[in-house]
Amino acid sequence: MENLPKAYKIGVIVLRTLLGALFSFASLAYFFKLFPDPVFEGNIKVMMDGFDAAIYLLPIVKVLELLCGISFLSGRLVTLSNIIIFPISVNILMIHVFHLPEGIPTAAFIFVTNCILFYAYRENYKSLLKVK
């Protein structure tokens, strides 16, 4: 991120902070039951019932969201957190595209911001993508 213009760096910090706040709040809301569970119908109900039946899945995802959210807020380990959270953000987007279209704007924000962070920190990923 060193070679980027100052305005771009500020934009990245703002987006990173918003994403961190969103993931942190969502995971804390899940663990502390800040909101009642939504009532689903149809295929999304079957999918959510499967997540609940797995017992471990949602808590692990929410712990990862919390840790990555804290990382984004603090600016530490952003490169690693971006890799960890990417499959979760893709699934959030796909769930909203196929089952809950009213949530597409938020899901798209999460996914696009994740991609912007990949671009902003692309220098940190070069060693991972180097073919030996």
* 3 state SS for 21-54: HHHHHHHHHHHCCCCCCCCCCCHHHHHHHHHHHC
% of the chain beyond a pLDDT of 90: 90
The two structure tokens encoding residue 21: 């706040």
Q: Which pLDDT score, from 0 to 100, does residue 132 have?
A: 78
The answer to whether residue 4 scores a pLDDT higher than 80 is: no
Question: Taking all residues of the chain, what is their mean pLDDT, rounded to a whole number?
Answer: 95
Handedness of CA 17, 58, 93, 127 (dihedral sign): positive
Q: Which pLDDT score, from 0 to 100, does residue 52 have?
A: 92
Assigned domain for 1 exists: no
Phi, psi of 42, rounded to the nearest 5 degrees: 75, -145
The answer to whether residue 71 scores a pLDDT higher than 90 is: yes
Q: Which region holds residue 55: left if phi is over 0, alpha if psi is between -120 and 50, else beta?
A: left
Q: Which pLDDT score, from 0 to 100, does residue 119 have?
A: 94
Q: Structural domain of residue 72, as residue ranges? A: 6-125
Assigned domain for 96 exists: yes
Q: How many domains does the chain have?
A: 1
**pLDDT, mean of residues 78-89:** 98
Q: For residue 42, which of 107, 105, 95 has the smallest C-alpha distance?
A: 95
Residue 82's alpha-carbon distances to 1, 16, 39, 114, 130, in angstroms, are 14, 10, 31, 7, 19
The mean-pLDDT minimum among 28-32, 101-105, 121-125 falls in 121-125
Q: Which pLDDT score, from 0 to 100, does residue 85 have?
A: 99
Assigned domain for 132 exists: no
- How many Cα atoms are found within 13 Å in the side-chain-facing hemisphere of 46? 3
pLDDT tens readout for residues 112-131 = 999 999 999 999 999 888 88
Assigned domain for 73 exists: yes
